[in-house]
């Protein structure tokens, strides 16, 4: 019996640990970011015609940037330099993990309307219809349904337990709901730290690219024996501004999505607490 319980607990933990693994996904996204930079943004079609670009063996990196003239917006982004693929990786990461959080949280809310589910369960608890409430949990599923079902199952078990007094039963019921909530929360909050981190790091990396671009611009301004290299100067300034724009855009999107998903998680947690309180009140009233 103990082995079965242990196996079930391991299965629950394994289930809660599901989702995208950042250690595997992030390197893949970095490779994708580099490929987008080299083969999409760096496609010769994004630049003005140059006899050197028609050769299959010639890469964009083989031509000095000051001799490259972008003809499209993607070509302009390519001129941002080596920091651009990192910022592209950040943007792709935000998009990928945002989709993952969206589907995870939608699944956690359950199959039916969550507000209607809460109203139904609270109504059944007020009538002490525990079995019907458990059936609603089976139909709803999701994280909220799982926590509530665990609380209701403990409710039934404690009702028939004659070894504990009422205070002890209420403590055991509260502990059961808290433990069930603790098991569900890691799944809801997993990978949220990535969005939070990128909201800050993207700006700092963009600032690094901006500084590098300005260093190049001032170097071009001071070189050439008193005659500034206008092409190199413009490349340095454009590199600085492109990195700034990409970093600010990525950071803004990451922060907005992080706050959005945080509010969704808070909403689910509130629903769990609301029904948990109803379970405790119902138990205190009818037992």
Enter the tokens of residue 59. 């890469």
In angstroms, the CA 180 to CA 197 distance is 28
Closest CA to 142 of 271, 262, 9: 271
Q: Kindly state the average pLDDT of the residues 226-232.
A: 67
Of the candidate ranges 3-17, 163-177, 192-206, the one whose mean pLDDT is the lowest: 3-17
Is 113 domain-assigned?
A: yes
Is 38 domain-assigned?
A: no
The tens digit of pLDDT for each residue in 128-187 reads: 899 999 999 999 989 899 999 999 999 988 888 888 888 898 999 999 999 999 888 888
Is 222 domain-assigned?
A: yes
pLDDT at 41 over 60: yes
Is 22 domain-assigned?
A: no
pLDDT at 91 over 90: yes
pLDDT at 200 over 90: yes
Enter the tokens of residue 34. 């580099």
Is 63 domain-assigned?
A: no
Domain count for the chain: 1
Are 139 and 111 in contact by the 8 Å Cβ rule? The answer is yes
**Rounded alpha-carbon distances, angstroms, from residue 62 to 58, 209, 237:** 7, 21, 21
Is 151 domain-assigned?
A: yes
Residue 48, helix vs strand vs coil: coil
In angstroms, the CA 183 to CA 187 distance is 8
Is 35 domain-assigned?
A: no
Higher pLDDT, 230 or 97: 97
Are 162 and 238 in contact by the 8 Å Cβ rule? The answer is no
In angstroms, the CA 24 to CA 2 distance is 35
Which residue range is the domain that position 154 belongs to?
82-287
pLDDT interval class at 48 (50, 70, 90):
confident
Residue 47, helix vs strand vs coil: strand
Strand segments (E) across 166-239 = none
Is 220 domain-assigned?
A: yes
Q: What is the pLDDT of residue 253?
A: 96
């Amino acid at each position: 019996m103990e082995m079965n319980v242990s196996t079930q607990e391991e299965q629950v933990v394994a289930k809660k640990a599901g989702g995208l693994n950042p250690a595997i996904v992030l390197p893949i996204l970095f490779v994708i970011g580099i490929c987008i930079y080299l083969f999409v943004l760096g496609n010769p079609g994004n630049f003005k015609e140059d006899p050197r670009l028609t050769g299959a063996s010639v890469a964009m990196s083989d031509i000095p940037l000051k001799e490259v003239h972008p003809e499209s917006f993607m070509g302009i982004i390519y001129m941002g330099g080596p920091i651009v693929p990192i910022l592209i990786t950040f943007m792709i990461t935000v998009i990928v993990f945002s989709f993952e959080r969206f589907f995870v949280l939608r699944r956690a809310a359950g199959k039916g309307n969550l507000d209607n589910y809460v109203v139904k369960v609270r109504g059944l608890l007020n009538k002490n219809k525990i079995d019907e409430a458990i059936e609603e949990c089976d139909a709803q599923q999701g994280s909220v349904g799982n926590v509530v079902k665990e609380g209701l199952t403990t409710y039934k078990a404690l009702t028939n337990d004659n070894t504990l007094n009422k205070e002890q039963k209420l403590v055991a019921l509260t502990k059961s709901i808290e433990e069930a909530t603790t098991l569900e929360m890691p799944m809801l909050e997993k990978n949220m730290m990535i969005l939070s981190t990128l909201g800050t790091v993207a700006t700092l990396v963009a600032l690094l690219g901006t500084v590098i671009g300005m260093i190049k611009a001032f170097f071009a301004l001071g070189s050439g024996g008193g005659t500034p290299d206008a092409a190199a100067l413009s490349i340095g300034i454009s590199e600085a501004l492109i990195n700034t724009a990409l970093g600010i855009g990525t950071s803004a999107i990451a922060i907005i999505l992080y706050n959005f998903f945080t509010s969704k998680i808070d909403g689910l947690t509130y629903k769990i607490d609301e029904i948990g309180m109803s379970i405790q009140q119902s138990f205190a009233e009818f037992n």
